[in-house]
Amino acid sequence: MTASEIALIAVAAFLAGAMNSVAGGGTFFSFPALLSVGVPPVMANASNAVALWPASLAGALASRDALYAHRRQLPMLSIVAFLGGLLGGLMLLSVRDHVFTQLIPWLLGAATAMFALSGVLSRQLARLRGSALPGHGLGGTLFQFLVSVYGGFFGAGMGIVMIAALAIQGHTDLNEINALKNWLSAVIYSVAVATFVIAGAVSWPHTVIMLVAAVAGGYLGARLARRLPAQWLRRMIIAIGTGLTLYYALKP
């Protein structure tokens, strides 16, 4: 790696860590940066997952108190997340780079749309607070499994869809939904990361640089979260996601 490439992925990872701690959407910075320095698409996605993995663990640990109310349901939800994350990770490893390259604009576009609609989803969930929702059933569990597969395969925007999946399964308290989302995301990322590491699909020189930078960015982002206009950041992320989607869609 050249000095400019090291600087590029370090800055991108720093921004990714900061964005994830403030408004989410960090993958829109870190994943394209790895592609731009020549990391193959599948390896770039795996390396990005490993680099941002500690943040998911931190979120899960920070939410552990709110999980107590769902201690009986947590084992089954965790098993579903584990199996889905494992399948998604294995699916990624089975895809050839040229095929994944063709999927990139679709994945980025879907993640951008989910991120853009997150505010609408949050308002809908707020209206559902205290109302009767369908109980835990096969449909909700299947949706949760599909979300977990997506998380293991790509992951950007997964949290937004997981909130909807948990609401479908009958959860109404927003704090508990967020805590469950953090925990299940950590399970999905952990098993996917383990799969990528065992398969040797990680570019460690790039990943180590990004991991350190992402942790630093996450720490700073958490400290500045209350001072920054999160709505502006969200709009910037949506604009970047839209631009990247168009770029990779039109790229020869």
What averages of pLDDT result for each successive group of 10 residues across the chain (252 residues)? 92 84 74 92 91 76 69 82 92 88 84 72 56 52 84 78 69 69 84 91 93 84 62 74 83 72
Q: Is the distance from CB of 42 to CB of 49 less than 8 angstroms? A: no
Q: Which 3 state secondary structure label does DSSP give 72? A: coil
DSSP 172: -
In sequence order, the 6+-apart residues with CB closer than 8 A to the CB of 36 are 8
* Token output for 41: 């698409």
pLDDT the model gives residue 134:
44
Q: What is the pTM assigned to this prediction? A: 0.75
pLDDT the model gives residue 195:
92
In whole angstroms, give the CA distance from residue 239 to residue 50. Answer: 25
DSSP 26: T
Report how far apart, in Å, the C-alpha atoms of 114 and of each of 9, 71, 132, 138 are: 25, 29, 25, 24
